[in-house]
Amino acid sequence: MELILDKNKKKEHLYLEVFHYYRELIMEKKLPPGSRMPSLRKCSQELKLSRTTIENAYLQLAAEGYIISKAQSGYYVTDIADRQHTSVRKTEKHAQTPCRFDFASSGVDRESFRFDLWRRYIKSALRQDERLLSYGEPQGEADLRDTLADYVRERRNVLCSREDIVIGAGIQSLLHILCPLLGQRRTVSFPNPSFVQGSTVFHDYGFQVDYRNKDCDIIYVSPAHMTKWGDIMPVSRRLELVNYSAAHGSLVIEDDFENEFVYLQKPTPSLFGLAGGQNVVYLGTFSRLLLPSIRISFMVLPPELSVLYRKKADQYNQTASKAEQIALCQFIRDGHLAAQTRKLKRLYSVKLKALRSAVREVFGKDAQIQTGAAGTSLALTLSTTLTWQELQKKAQTNGLRLQLLREAPGKITLILSCSSMSVADFVPACKLLKDISQIQN
Amino acid sequence: MELILDKNKKKEHLYLEVFHYYRELIMEKKLPPGSRMPSLRKCSQELKLSRTTIENAYLQLAAEGYIISKAQSGYYVTDIADRQHTSVRKTEKHAQTPCRFDFASSGVDRESFRFDLWRRYIKSALRQDERLLSYGEPQGEADLRDTLADYVRERRNVLCSREDIVIGAGIQSLLHILCPLLGQRRTVSFPNPSFVQGSTVFHDYGFQVDYRNKDCDIIYVSPAHMTKWGDIMPVSRRLELVNYSAAHGSLVIEDDFENEFVYLQKPTPSLFGLAGGQNVVYLGTFSRLLLPSIRISFMVLPPELSVLYRKKADQYNQTASKAEQIALCQFIRDGHLAAQTRKLKRLYSVKLKALRSAVREVFGKDAQIQTGAAGTSLALTLSTTLTWQELQKKAQTNGLRLQLLREAPGKITLILSCSSMSVADFVPACKLLKDISQIQN
């Protein structure tokens, strides 16, 4: 095996070729476990590539566990090749075909995110040495809060100042700060039991958690994500909710998850906006617009809670990465978040239609499909003699990941997400699903 | 004014010259608010620099608020020059001389952190596109947990597997997960009221918070940071605590903050190690070793709590940035954390001695100083007729930041931190402190 390099390729990708070259040598044990990698200098001379290129390739190999560095000595091949061979035995519990089709993903479309662009903003943020040498503001970076105030005013009619915005690493981090501010309110209602992360926090704080009970002190809703297949709350119902909660003194927590992906109608107004900023807490997140691995969410507090929060603000450390906050602020100001949102909305709208067509094509015109006005998923009800456990087991064996909505005798309803899968896979994935749901064990 | 560039300089710094050049033009209003910046193409032609260099300079200008981009149109100068001039009036509440000497900092020494190195690791992490497209593991990235298990075993004699480690964005995020696991335990004792962030979480969860009360169900201690001036818990006391808590069934939470900065004696064993991993929760953090703005902490759970946690693990989302976790894992594996720790330990040890000398030089041999065996601060008691409020006000006017430990009639005890200040500033800062504490209003 020889490394043949196309030197005309763009420089950023050269290191990947070096990476793949060595990865193969290691996995085929031509470089056996424990052997020493050539030094950067030597390797760079032999391959006639820059030291940086080699170093990047080595860093990547190390990051993925193929080699490991020993201080003052160099890089050594790990036993990854051995481990791969025995991994089936070791992790018998997880023994399964690699996932070919993932209908259960909560990730984002791999083509949709401009990694190069995000890397540039992170790089620029990491150049602000002075700013990174200190702890972040407990409430979140002030410039990001300014930018978010503009963002929610323009897009969601949420009027607030930077003082009312709290940034945190995900919705749970924000609820951990919010719950202790809620005083005498002790009961909370969720639309259904599916948002476990949210209800867990309330439960942990000793709240009584209930479902669809409008007599609770706190009403938690996701108006743009009422069901997993994308039902949204109509404006009439939003007004009703705002009026009811105002009359009964209950607090509404509006989790505006996926409000960006409402396709079939005009953007619906936020509850916070409809209520004139009274008695509603607004929650926003960027995990579906950027990368799920970037942990930045925010909440907008109504006036009384904002006052209570500021008295305690210094008692909570900021959880979100400062570098990522700085990068996101600039990313939004330069218009990239708006562009990314438009792009994703177009993309998911097309993909969701394609998925619906694929389901109809494979399961026939009478397939029981539920679709909504938003989101990245549809619900499909299958007639099958299998139980969910049986179906899931067969799916795993066949490299298919599924997500259950509910099970009834002879019927299984699945949530099929289009977000991570490629359009070309929809029909084959549906065919596979049909096959395994019809064949007995 | 003309931009004279030394083209022989290293390329990374060229953009900074462009940045400084424009910053001055903007602050001197030679480029007035609202005026359009030259396009990247034009500017790059005129200055004979690459577009990337210009773009990096513009990004930096934008990041610091000097210019703002308008989509499809280019960059425009903001009103920052106006705002700077009127800022004294606008923020009257905070009107104060810019900080010259910061004795109250919790940041890190600006010379100590290798930003270039960290940037390289982040860059490498951000290249792992596939990994970043999905949510992180709730418990934290598995490879980082493996690395941390090795790290605490080698350095702190904490024996655990990756299953027992939970990663989170700061100690509070971890306590938010820990507290609901503590079942019937309802009282917690802290050594003193200074760690507000910690006691707040327990308080929020309805625990009774007490101080120096060994009859509580939970004992929270920072054995390497018993006092703000660096007292550490001796081994005999550690053994006593471990035995006492085992006998009484109380749980110890060991916050190993600044254990890396124990100068005057051999590293003391961890409580977790002394207790054989029973009945102790170990907390570790990297904010003092890397950047405070990087939010990665971890906890090691003893067996019973580890089992309880895993049952609920999926109910909590990970709070720490995935990219930063990937970068930190590789950074530790490549030996950089160990090197950084050695470097900081040497640096702070020298700085703390220099600060002590400076205090003695300025305040005389009878100055009341308290020092410990660890940390980055000492305690200084001043005889003064001023109250703390008066002293603090005068300090602010003179650009000095102070931190109060306690106040008694005629006496004020301050905590002086050496971490962010340069050694050359110690004597002038102490002289200033002496001056303002002796002069009446």
pLDDT tops 80 at residue B69: no
Stretch A102-106: mean pLDDT, rounded?
Answer: 87
Stretch B172-201: mean pLDDT, rounded?
Answer: 95
Reported as a pLDDT band with limits 50, 70 and 90, residue A283 is: very high
Reported as a pLDDT band with limits 50, 70 and 90, residue B87 is: very low
CA A187 – CA A403 distance, rounded (Å): 30
Reported as a pLDDT band with limits 50, 70 and 90, residue A24 is: confident
Reported as a pLDDT band with limits 50, 70 and 90, residue A315 is: very high
Stretch A120-132: mean pLDDT, rounded?
Answer: 90
Residue B32: strand pairing partners: none
Mutate to test the interface with B, among A321, A337, A344 (most CBs of B within 10 A): A321
Least confident segment among A210-214, B62-66, B421-425: B62-66
pLDDT tops 70 at residue B10: no
Mean pLDDT of all residues in chain B?
A: 87
Query: CB-based contact (8 Å) between B11 and chain A?
Result: no
pLDDT tops 70 at residue A298: yes
CA B21 – CA B40 distance, rounded (Å): 15
DSSP B194-229: T-HHHHHHHHHTTPEEEES-TTSSEEEE-TT-SSTT
pLDDT tops 90 at residue A436: yes
Which chain B residues are closer than 8 Å to A200 by Cβ?
Answer: 312, 315-316
Vertex A181: Cα angle to A178 and A186 (nearest 5): 95
Per-residue pLDDT tens digits for B27-47: 888 888 888 888 888 888 878
pLDDT tops 70 at residue A93: no
pLDDT tops 60 at residue B1: no
Stretch A137-151: mean pLDDT, rounded?
Answer: 96
Q: Specify whether the CB–CB gap between A281 and A160 falls below 8 A.
A: no
Binary contact (B204, A180; C-beta < 8 A) = yes
pLDDT tops 80 at residue B95: no
Mean pLDDT of all residues in chain A?
A: 87
Determine the number of helices (DSSP H) and then strands (DSSP E) in chain B: 16, 15
Binary contact (B124, A60; C-beta < 8 A) = yes
Query: CB-based contact (8 Å) between B62 and chain A?
Result: yes
Q: Specify whether the CB–CB gap between A29 and A73 falls below 8 A.
A: no
CA A380 – CA A231 distance, rounded (Å): 15
Architecture of domain A116-336: 3-Layer(aba) Sandwich (3.40)
Per-residue pLDDT tens digits for B212-245: 998 999 999 999 888 888 888 988 999 999 999 9
Reported as a pLDDT band with limits 50, 70 and 90, residue A91 is: very low
Percentage of residues in chain B with pLDDT exceeding 70? 91
Q: Which CATH number applies to B11-92?
A: 1.10.10.10
Would you state the structure tokens that stand for residue B195, as one six-digit string? 């760690």
Percentage of residues in chain A with pLDDT exceeding 90? 56
Q: Give the ipTM of the model, two decimals please.
A: 0.75
Query: CB-based contact (8 Å) between A78 and chain B?
Result: no
Binary contact (B133, A293; C-beta < 8 A) = yes
Burial status of residue B174 (CB atoms within 10 A of its CB: 0-12, 13-18, 19 or more): buried
pLDDT tops 90 at residue A171: yes
The pLDDT value recorded for residue B133 is 84
Which chain B residues are closer than 8 Å to A56 by Cβ?
Answer: 124
The pLDDT value recorded for residue B287 is 84
pLDDT tops 70 at residue B84: no
- Nearest residue, CB atoms, A335 vs list B69, B113, B294: B69
Query: Can you tell me which residue has the tokens 């107004």?
Result: A269
CA A60 – CA A13 distance, rounded (Å): 12
Does B56 or A34 have the greater pLDDT score? A34
CA B50 – CA B60 distance, rounded (Å): 16
Vertex B345: Cα angle to B343 and B350 (nearest 5): 100
The pLDDT value recorded for residue A84 is 59
Per-residue pLDDT tens digits for A174-187: 999 999 999 899 99
Task: Report the CATH fold assignment for A11-94.
Answer: Arc Repressor Mutant, subunit A (1.10.10)
CA B282 – CA B418 distance, rounded (Å): 27
Stretch B40-58: mean pLDDT, rounded?
Answer: 81
pLDDT tops 70 at residue B135: yes
Mutate to test the interface with B, among A53, A317, A331, A420 (most CBs of B within 10 A): A317
- Nearest residue, CB atoms, B200 vs list A110, A131, A316: A316
Reported as a pLDDT band with limits 50, 70 and 90, residue B382 is: very high
CATH class entry, domain B116-338:
alpha beta
The pLDDT value recorded for residue B441 is 46
Those residues whose C-beta lies under 8 Å from the C-beta of residue B159, and which sit 6 or more positions away, are B153, B273, B277
CATH of B101-111+342-438, one of 3.60.20.10, 3.50.50.60, 3.40.50.300, 3.90.1150.10: 3.90.1150.10
Q: Which of residues 338-367 of B touch A (CB under 8 A)?
A: 338-339
Per-residue pLDDT tens digits for A378-430: 999 999 999 999 999 999 999 999 999 999 999 999 999 998 889 999 999 99
Residue ranges per domain, chain A? 11-94, 101-111+339-438, 116-336
Per-residue pLDDT tens digits for A39-90: 888 888 878 888 878 887 887 777 667 887 776 677 888 887 776 544 333 3
CATH class entry, domain A101-111+339-438:
alpha beta
- Nearest residue, CB atoms, A115 vs list B129, B180, B196: B129
